[in-house]
């Protein structure tokens, strides 16, 4: 990754502490981080590389860039963005399925706005719409249900992309469609689940993540336990953080406290059995056991399946598909549209960016020709994408 310092665009003056909800507290956290970073660096020695902390939530990615958090951290701490954007990790072959479904006759395709401009092998949904196919942005799958009720002679397909946060409402929509006996509603399920992707990252020697800022939204559903393997199997600490700058700074501070304690333990291994932990900083939003009701409806409607992740490859049992009793609502299986050969965008390095191997500025396409108006890869399309965040708040360097 580039070692050049990052500076905010002049227009993005939000990095000023006076613009934060509690500038005094933020200043205290920043000073505390600086002190702990110096202590960690001293324990490791002057030749040690900077400590890598990865966030795996698109909202964190945007907040870190918007509030200029990289600029207030010491050089011995490096924040890297992981696969926290569900649109970004959607593989080209899944985009191709969505586009192929949209091209079927007598179909109204619905999806969230972020999916529209993501390029597939030949087209995006936005391009399919421009070619005359009926593709619509909706704010909820319930909007797609309403369309199905109003248009009984057309098939309504909802392209469902998301992590654990959005799957409960998709599951509820499918149950509602079944209760209404809607035969013209179905879902193209491109859902993914987060924990096993984190295992793939922790197990990847090229990534070398030392700590995780864990996703707040996802954790409201799944709670703390699914992340425990990070600490148990890899000795990697994690903190579930909120989304305001103070939340993220608190998470970093807590991680540094753990990293210092673990470093001291390693140097005095015979005197302590201290282990890494998964902690919750975002206590106002996340409970230890998550939301059992939401998980229950997801388990009722969906079964796990293997899923292809952009940048991470095939990860077993990280996808979701409707169970047999809800098979009539599985658009991919129901319509089985013909698909073009999968072609990856030439020169796009979204995969390496999603693994934290490089920063967006290191991609040779960043800023020219790849821009939000002319995206080559999905990380520049989504409002939660790393490249979109860096382009908006750091500019082209």
Tell whether the model's pLDDT for residue 21 goes beyond 80: no
Of residues 382 and 135, more confidence is placed in 135
Across the strands, what pairs with 207?
Answer: none
Burial class (CB within 10 angstroms; exposed 0-12, middle 13-18, buried 19+) of 24: exposed
Mean pLDDT score, 346-355: 95
Cβ–Cβ < 8 Å for 70, 226:
no
The CA-based angle 82-84-89, given to 5 degrees, is 90
Mean pLDDT score, 37-42: 96
Q: State residue 265's pLDDT score.
A: 87
pLDDT tens digits for range 47-61:
889 999 999 999 999
* DSSP state for residue 291 in the 8-state scheme: -
Q: Please, what sign has the CA dihedral across residues 300, 290, 60, 83?
A: negative
pLDDT tens digits for range 258-271:
999 999 988 776 55
Q: State residue 11's pLDDT score.
A: 33
Could you name the CATH architecture of 33-38+48-348? 3-Layer(aba) Sandwich (3.40)
Q: State residue 194's pLDDT score.
A: 98
CB atoms within 10 A of CB 300: 14
Query: What is the distance between the alpha carbons of residues 333 and 305, in angstroms, rounded to a whole number?
Result: 14
Tokens describing residue 236: 């990697």
Tell whether the model's pLDDT for residue 16 goes beyond 80: no
Tokens describing residue 25: 């507290």
Cβ–Cβ < 8 Å for 388, 395:
no
Q: How large is the greatest C-alpha to C-alpha distance in the chain, in angstroms?
A: 73
Q: State residue 18's pLDDT score.
A: 64
Mean pLDDT score, 323-330: 98
Query: What is the distance between the alpha carbons of residues 247 and 20, in angstroms, rounded to a whole number?
Result: 11
Query: What is the distance between the alpha carbons of residues 371 and 42, in angstroms, rounded to a whole number?
Result: 41
User: In the chain, what is the straight-line distance between the N-terminal and C-terminal CA atoms, in Å?
Assistant: 14
Tokens describing residue 145: 């249900």
pLDDT tens digits for range 131-157:
999 999 999 999 999 999 999 999 999
Tokens describing residue 42: 């001293």
Tell whether the model's pLDDT for residue 77 goes beyond 90: yes
Mean pLDDT score, 169-191: 97
The structure's pTM equals 0.92
Query: 184's torsion region: left (phi>0), alpha (psi -120 to 50) or beta?
Result: alpha
> Can you give the length of the chain in residues?
397
Which helix (H) or strand (E) segment holds residue 172: the answer is helix 167-179
pLDDT tens digits for range 238-297:
999 999 999 999 999 999 999 999 999 887 765 566 799 999 999 999 999 999 999 999
Domain-wise residue ranges, the chain: 33-38+48-348
Tell whether the model's pLDDT for residue 396 goes beyond 90: no
Query: What is the distance between the alpha carbons of residues 246 and 350, in angstroms, rounded to a whole number?
Result: 29
Q: For the chain, what is the mean pLDDT?
A: 92
Tokens describing residue 298: 């997801």
Q: State residue 99's pLDDT score.
A: 97
Mean pLDDT score, 109-134: 95
Residue 46 confidence class, pLDDT cut points 50, 70, 90: confident
- Give CA separation, 386 vs 23, 230, 349, 361, in Å: 26, 23, 12, 10
Q: State residue 15's pLDDT score.
A: 46
């Amino acid at each position: 990754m580039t070692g050049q310092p990052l500076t905010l665009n002049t227009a993005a003056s939000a990095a000023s502490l006076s613009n934060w909800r509690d500038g005094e507290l933020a200043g205290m956290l920043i000073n505390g981080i600086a002190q702990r970073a110096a202590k960690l660096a001293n324990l490791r020695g002057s030749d040690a590389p900077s400590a890598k902390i990865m966030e795996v939530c698109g909202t964190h990615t945007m907040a870190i860039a918007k509030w200029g958090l990289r600029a207030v951290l010491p050089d011995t701490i490096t924040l890297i963005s992981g696969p926290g954007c569900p649109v970004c990790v959607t593989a080209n072959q899944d985009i191709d399925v969505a586009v192929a479904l949209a091209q079927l006759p007598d179909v109204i395709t619905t999806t969230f706005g972020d999916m529209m401009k993501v390029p597939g092998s030949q087209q995006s949904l936005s391009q399919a719409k421009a070619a005359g196919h009926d593709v619509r942005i909706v704010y909820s799958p319930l909007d797609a249900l309403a369309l199905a009720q109003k248009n009984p002679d057309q098939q309504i397909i909802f392209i469902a992309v998301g992590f654990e946060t959005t799957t409960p409402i998709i599951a509820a929509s499918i149950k509602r469609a079944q209760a209404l006996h809607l035969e013209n509603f179905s879902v193209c399920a491109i859902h993914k689940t987060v924990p096993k992707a984190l295992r793939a990252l922790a197990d990847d020697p090229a990534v070398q993540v030392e700590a995780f800022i864990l996703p707040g939204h996802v954790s409201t559903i799944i709670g703390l336990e699914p992340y425990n393997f990070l600490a148990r199997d890899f000795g990697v600490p994690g903190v579930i953080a909120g989304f305001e700058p103070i939340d993220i700074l608190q998470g970093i501070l807590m991680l540094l406290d753990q990293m210092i304690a673990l470093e001291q333990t390693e140097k005095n291994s015979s005197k302590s059995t201290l282990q890494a932990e998964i902690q919750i900083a975002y206590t106002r939003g996340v409970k230890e056991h998550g939301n059992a009701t939401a998980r229950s409806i997801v388990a009722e409607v969906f079964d796990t399946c293997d899923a292809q992740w952009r940048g991470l490859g095939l990860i077993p049992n990280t996808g979701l598909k409707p169970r047999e009793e809800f098979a009539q609502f599985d658009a991919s299986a129901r319509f089985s549209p013909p698909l073009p050969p999968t072609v990856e965008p030439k020169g796009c390095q979204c995969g390496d960016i999603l693994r934290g191997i490089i920063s967006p500025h290191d991609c040779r396409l960043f800023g020219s020709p790849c821009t939000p108006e002319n995206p080559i890869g999905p990380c520049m399309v989504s409002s939660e994408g790393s490249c979109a965040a860096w382009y908006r708040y750091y500019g082209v360097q």
